[in-house]
Structure 1
Amino acid sequence: MSEYGEEEERRVLGLAPVPPPVRGRYGDRPEQEYDLWPGEGPLVVLLHGGFWRYDRTHLTPLAAHLARHGFAVALPGFRLSGGSGGYPETFDDVALALDTIPGGRPYVLAGHSSGGHLALWACARGLLPPESPWFTRDLPSAVLALAPVADLDATIRDRLSNDAALQLLGGTALAADRLPLADPLSLARTTGTTGVPTVLLHGASDEEVPPAQSTAYAAAHRDAELVVLPGTGHYTPIEPGAEACRTVIDILERLSRH
């Protein structure tokens, strides 16, 4: 990683966590809880990154920042890869969280990095086989994927974050069978759209997740819009006060009108 990338990572991930005003539960397991910044504004559900291995604490500054800009924000936890999660548990939790937390209220789903993967996957649940426990037609109003892991096959091939995608999917022997149900790009290619208005925002200088992943996804999804931010790395879009984060707020305001 370059000096710029290392400084950006230290700066953004070093921000002090922000305690939520409310903490709730969407299931009985210890990991099935969520932070909530309540409000009457548009609801945004945030899915955190960390290559499916790390908790949501680092995204609390963004959640609080969005709340100060008029959004109601929910930030769920879920079982993590390398611990009690992975396939299928991480996907079970995300599906349950999204089926439970909004309570029928329309919402925009947003996710960063591997949280972007989970957000794009969640919007494709209507493309899963009807017998899948994750299948639903009750989808978000729109989705914003920030520097997303949109292509699990490429993530495996490039060995991103020490084979994080293989760890998520249970190893090489299981990955091939699980990819069609877990990979946003593969799912989008089945019909050419998830039916959910989709924006992908990627920094041109991202050193964690190649911008080519978002380019490939946008090419496969006819209802997806790709926004590339010049001179922007992987973490700056989730940094409160950064120009890239102002772009995130503008897009969420636009998407919340769907």
Structure 2
Amino acid sequence: MSRTISDFAAEEERRVLSLRPVLAPSHHKYGDHPHQAYDLWPAEDPDAPLVILLHGGYWRYDRMHLTPFAAYLAKNGFTTVLPGFRRAGGAGGYPATFDDIALLVDTIPAGRPYVLAGHCSGGHLALWAGARGLLPEGSPWHTTELPTAVLALAPITDLAGTIREDLSNGAGLELLGPADRVESLLPSVDPLTMLRGPGTTGVPTVVLHGEVDEELPHEQFTGYMSVHTDAELVTLPGTGHYTLIEPGSPASRSVIETLARLSRTHCS
């Protein structure tokens, strides 16, 4: 779907996505595939809270645009993991992308409490990973070892809506396609569908978004909140889609404060 955005939104997108990538201090693997790798930014304090940060890009693009924000989180007291995974349009899509997210969150924390955060499509994957306990026990992705908390930043929560609205020129179908199998897949991959009935994942969850986000329909946020009975919604006035991941912005300070609260309350 072609979209018309304001000058404000266009400038925000250009400014944040043109930030120079930041090289991580160390790189590691969580699996055998070349995309099953992650960057690690340790905080100064070896006992700092752990954050696993899932990048956006409509399941297509790599994680380089989020390296400045990962480095920013580390400077603000969070040991930060930024993983890669197989992506739509290449080696990923259903089921490989979901296989990788399940593998990385089951492997990287090594039993340590952690907040799972994600932006946009990374927010979808974070919410999905937090809902894996709702999957049938026979599912290869079912687990009772869930994130300590989830912070979804301007997340995609509704894959059916994403496909219906044709967001980012067919990104949802590129992830799940062909179209005739989408409905049968939603109960295992779509956070909104998975929550209908249970009403909660049992994982403390915060959805944080900008009031003037022009990238996603706001029903992606409000629709999810209508079914997740104990999730928390934080709406930042005057904030767009990308400023959430812009180091040093007022919105990024809200992200830091929310991560600190979730870590203090649930990871201590």
| TM-score band w.r.t. shorter chain | over 0.9
In structure 1, the residue matched to 2:24 is 20
SS in 2 for 1:59: helix
Once the two structures are TM-superposed, the CA of residue 190 in structure 1 deviates from its matched residue by 2.8
2:235 is paired with a residue of what secondary structure? strand
CA RMSD of aligned residues (A): 0.8
Q: Percent identity?
A: 65
Map of 1:78 onto structure 2: 85
Q: Deviations over 1:28-62 (max 9, x none)?
A: 00000000012420000000000000000011111
State the match for 2:147 in structure 1: 140
Report what 2:7 is aligned to. Answer: 3
Q: Is 1:131 matched with 2:135?
A: no
Shift of 1:27: 0.1
1:117 to 121, 124, 128: 124
What is the correspondence of 1:83-98 to structure 2 with a 5 Å cutoff?
Answer: 83-98=90-105
Indicate which of 48, 51, 54 corresponds to 1:44: 51
Query: Retained in 2: the 8 A contact 1:5–1:233?
Result: yes
Q: Is the counterpart of residue 163 in structure 1 residue 153 in structure 2?
A: no
| Structure 1 segment 89-108 matched on structure 2, within 5 A | 89-108=96-115
- Given the two structures, how large is their TM-score scaled by the length of structure 2? 0.95
By how many angstroms is 1:171 displaced? 2.2
Letter aligned with residue 97 of structure 1: L
Distance in structure 2 (CA, Å) of the matches to 1:20 and 1:54: 18
User: Structure 1: any 5+ residue segments left out of the alignment?
Assistant: none
Correspondence for 1:187 among 181, 184, 194: 194
1:239 aligns with 2:236: no
Match of 1:32 in 2: 36
Give the Cα–Cα distance (whole angstroms) in 1 for the partners of residues 260 and 131 of structure 2: 22
1:204 aligns with 2:211: yes
Instruction: Answer with 177-186 or 108-117: which moved more.
Output: 177-186
Normalising by structure 1, we get a TM-score of 0.98
Alignment of 1:55 with 2:36, yes or no, is: no
- 2-side partners of 1:252 and 1:211: how far apart? 22
Shift of 1:212: 1.9
Q: Is the 8 A contact 1:111 1:148 kept in 2?
A: yes
Distance across 2 between alignment mates of 1:11 and 1:103: 36
* 8 Å CA contact 1:108, 1:140 repeated in 2: yes
SS at match of 1:83: coil
What residue identity is the alignment partner of 1:140? P
Gaps (5+ residues) in structure 2? none
Say if 2:228 is the partner of 1:221. Answer: yes
1:95, distance to aligned residue in structure 2 (A): 0.4
SS of residue matched to 1:162? coil
